[in-house]
Structure 1
Amino acid sequence: MPNIHSARALGDAHLTQFVRDGYLRIDDAFPTILADECRNILWRDTGCDPNDRGTWTRPVIRLGFYNQPPFSAAANTAVLHHAYDKLVGSGRWLPQGGLGIFPVRFPSPDDPGDTGWHVDVSFGLENPDFMAWRANIVSKGRALLMLFLFSDVGENDAPTRIRAGSHRDIARILAPHGEAGLSLGELAAHGFAESAHRPEVLATGKAGTVYLCHPFLVHSAQPHRGTKARFMAQPPLLPVCDLQLARNDAACSPVEQAIKLALKEAD
């Protein structure tokens, strides 16, 4: 898979790969100095000592929404804005006000309890039961799923697992349910096993790497078997409006194209 190192490098081959596989990896999407600044803030908020593994007593600590200047700057680089335009469409997404929840993962023999395959649902979030949160075929409330690496992540450092191409399976499951869509519980009942045949990719990379993913991409966390804490954010890119699948093909974004192609494959 070709990685992207600058705004100028995002060309037709990358867009074709995104439509097919459901994700793009962008190296150096934000500067490592910003990753360092953000990680220092996050370490403080974990209550753990980065130099004392005896304080790393839990496999995962979830930290809340961060919108301080280094986080906002990391989410809004020129490279990323260019990529958002290319994947979602110019004028069709909202600038990032910050970054969402950080699941900070630590080396641990304990089960973190959150390693099931899933998609990130995007509306009905006012319901206190997260299994009732929903997704629909026009991806209401989410233009992209994004994985921001704020620490170096190798194969043993709990990288997110991605099922390449699984966005097409989810599009076909959601399509019959129209704007109402399905809840996370209903999607799970349909079975994320629908995408079990897809090749698995690990979201590894240096701090500053970002994976831009189709909102229907099936993914999962995994236990940390490395030696250093892993810092990653998983915010949505928010849309200006729902996807418009009735657009003519020339006007469709790659996110929309991927859904339309998946539904044609089902014909």
Structure 2
Amino acid sequence: MQDALTKAQLEQFIREGFVRINNAFSADTARQARAILWQDLKLDPNDRTTWNQPIIRLGMYSQPPFVEAANTPVLHRAFDQLVGPGQWIPCRSMGTFPVRFPSDTDPGDTGWHVDAGFPGADPGNFWEWRVNVWSKGRGLLMLFLFSDVSEADAPTRIRTGSHQDVARLLQPAGEAGLSFMEVAEKLADLPERPEQLATGNAGTVYLCHPFLVHAAQPHHGTEPRFLAQPPLLIREEFRIEGNEGGYSPVAEAIRQALK
């Protein structure tokens, strides 16, 4: 079976921290998912006067269109290539949806951050969730575009290559790692990095290194943006040394950052 990602794309992932897959799932699957989300929003998709908030967060989604979007053959092959065959857990939920609407109101959640992978002392406190240099709990950050996203439609901002800086930040913290907030507070001290916008048509998926620094932004377009960013969960944390069988691109990126 043909690989989902070329050698050049794998090298890009190691170097820049992400790779974009066009048509990772179908436009029809995206349309079916949006129909479910509009029902739960309880807003009129044809009446902009009902769109009176900059963001509405919807809960976990495990209906067929969402599970189908996360489990297409091309994505499964890409997971194998980036994380390693047998090392990842299939997605059975698309997680939460931050639905963003055109608005002049500050959504209040546009800070740079790195998603955490495992719970701290209080599992119910998201701000205390943690991340360590072996990326315990998380194989990839994934951005699933369920609507067309242009530069005006609040695309996720990505700091290209920032996963390398975060790996070096995490190394001294050892197994316990740092909390979500501890990492966020240190990001301003990291080197400047080019910014990339996660744009694309519905059905596009960005597969990102778990340490990649990213941020939301206000919506200045005309149509609501539907995006989910579920984690790809892993069976065990990555080995970044002493692995005679070689290293996945996620682990290799960490290794190169720590040289």
Pair in the same fold by TM > 0.5: yes
Determine whether 1:157 maps to 2:153.
yes
Determine if contact 2:114/2:184 at 8 Å carries over to the other structure: no
Q: Any idea what SS the aligned residue of 1:45 has?
A: helix
The percentage of aligned residue pairs carrying the same residue is 60
Determine whether 1:178 maps to 2:174.
yes
1:143 corresponding residue in structure 2 = 139
1:32 corresponding residue in structure 2 = 27
1:205 to 200, 206, 223: 200
What aligned pairs does 1:86-165 form with structure 2 within 5 A after superposition? 86-124=81-119, 126-165=122-161
Q: Any idea what SS the aligned residue of 1:251 has?
A: coil
Q: CA deviation at 1:184?
A: 1.5
Q: CA deviation at 1:143?
A: 0.4
Distance 1:7 1:30, change over 3 A: farther
1:230 corresponding residue in structure 2 = 225
Q: CA deviation at 1:248?
A: 3.6
Determine if contact 1:249/1:257 at 8 Å carries over to the other structure: no
**Bigger CA drift: 180-189 or 18-27?**
180-189
2:75 corresponding residue in structure 1 = 80
Q: CA deviation at 1:168?
A: 0.3
Which residue identity lines up with residue 178 of structure 1 in the other structure? G
Distance 1:201 1:64, change over 3 A: same
**Distance in 1 of aligned mates of 2:204 and 2:232:** 16
Alignment TM-score, normalising by the size of structure 2: 0.96
Unpaired stretches in structure 2, ≥5 consecutive residues: none
What aligned pairs does 1:186-205 form with structure 2 within 5 A after superposition? 186-189=182-185, 191-195=186-190, 197-205=192-200
What aligned pairs does 1:1-16 form with structure 2 within 5 A after superposition? 8=3, 10-16=5-11
Unpaired stretches in structure 1, ≥5 consecutive residues: 1-5
1:3 corresponding residue in structure 2 = none
**Distance in 1 of aligned mates of 2:244 and 2:191:** 29
Determine if contact 1:7/1:80 at 8 Å carries over to the other structure: no
Q: Any idea what SS the aligned residue of 1:152 has?
A: coil
Determine whether 1:239 maps to 2:234.
yes
**Distance in 1 of aligned mates of 2:125 and 2:231:** 20
* Alignment root-mean-square deviation, CA: 1.4
Determine whether 1:63 maps to 2:58.
yes
Distance 1:12 1:226, change over 3 A: same
Determine whether 1:220 maps to 2:215.
yes
User: What whole-Å deviation, never above 9, does each CA across 1:187-227 have from its counterpart, x for those lacking one?
Assistant: 123x2124451100000000000000000000000000000
Which residue identity lines up with residue 31 of structure 2 in the other structure? D
User: What whole-Å deviation, never above 9, does each CA across 1:144-202 have from its counterpart, x for those lacking one?
Assistant: 0000000000000000000000000000000011110001121123x212445110000
2:249 corresponding residue in structure 1 = 254
Length, aligned pairs only? 258
**Distance in 2 of aligned mates of 1:19 and 1:213:** 10
Distance 1:36 1:197, change over 3 A: same
**Distance in 2 of aligned mates of 1:7 and 1:39:** 31
User: What whole-Å deviation, never above 9, does each CA across 1:216-262 have from its counterpart, x for those lacking one?
Assistant: 00000000000000000000000011111124475200000000000
